[in-house]
Amino acid sequence: MKTAFTYATRRSLLALAQCRALARDLCSVVPTLTLRELQIVTTGDRIQDRALAEVGGKGLFVKEIEEALLDGRADFAVHSMKDVPGQLAPGLVLACVPKREDPRDVLVAPRYGTLDDLPRGARVGTSSLRRAAALGAYRRDLVVQVLRGNVDTRLRKVDAAECDAIVLARAGLVRLGLEERVTQVLPVQVSLPAPGQGALAVECRETDSPTRALVAHLHDPEAATCVAAERGVLIAVGGDCKTPLGAYAQRVDDKLHLLAFVATVDAKGVRHAERTVPWPATEVDAQAVGFALGGFLCAG
């Protein structure tokens, strides 16, 4: 039985924190396990001076890592689910979705606190068109600044007053032990999360049975079902970093509740939709629910 595996990851502090936490969880379940780490600098990591929408979208964070899986340098990869495109490279699968962290966006505004307390014309930093659209829909007077870089870089910029506030994923701050920097958790009605936000994606070769069996120990069916519905919206809309798109699914009793929106870049054309359906029997069924809702958004 195979006991040594190699996982691939980006080199950012957040990527390393979340994949090493997952590695520890795997080792606690399989004590005889040996794991090796392969760090990869992706195109998305190398380009820090432009918005992702200008340079190719979210696939820039996974392309080189998927190549490492396909050529056998790594057995599995750990991604932030929101960075994973709707279509994987041929021959690869999402073999595990672990328990999900809080998917909501948060505001870090050390001098003001909340979105409502920001003064007129306040500068809010984000590299996400989705967040920019949400901010524009909520308060058109805010000035959205393109802000790239890792979490530490963004926090330093708001601390240095290069902007008045920044919007980040709460999950990333929690995983880095920086949750105390949050000044406001944004309601999903204000800033709907990106599809898969807060979840991790463990990707491997479709035919690699030993690896699939290993990572299955951490698979969370409820998280996977919700993420599948959200990614169904993503696939239907053809969403990438050039598309302001949000989707959030949750289980409410024995039902799946799915919220979604798509917007024009200037936030003037924002279309919302939601569905509540019986809890899907499979992830494929959940994706179909999201795909149908995404089709409705596109039709509008």
DSSP assignment of 224-273: HHHHHHHHHHHHHHT-STTS-EEEEEEEETTEEEEEEEEE-TTSSSEEEE
Question: What does the alpha-carbon distance between residue 243 and residue 263 come to, in Å, rounded to a whole number?
Answer: 7
φ, ψ for residue 237 (rounded to 5)? Answer: -80, -20
Q: Which of 70, 82, 93 lies closest to 18, judged by CA?
A: 82
Q: Which of 83, 105, 164, 240 is catalytic?
A: 83
Give the length of the chain: 300
254 is catalytic: no
Residue reference for tokens 């920097």: 181
Q: Quick check: 113 and 183 in contact, CB under 8 A?
A: yes
Residue positions annotated with a catalytic role: 83
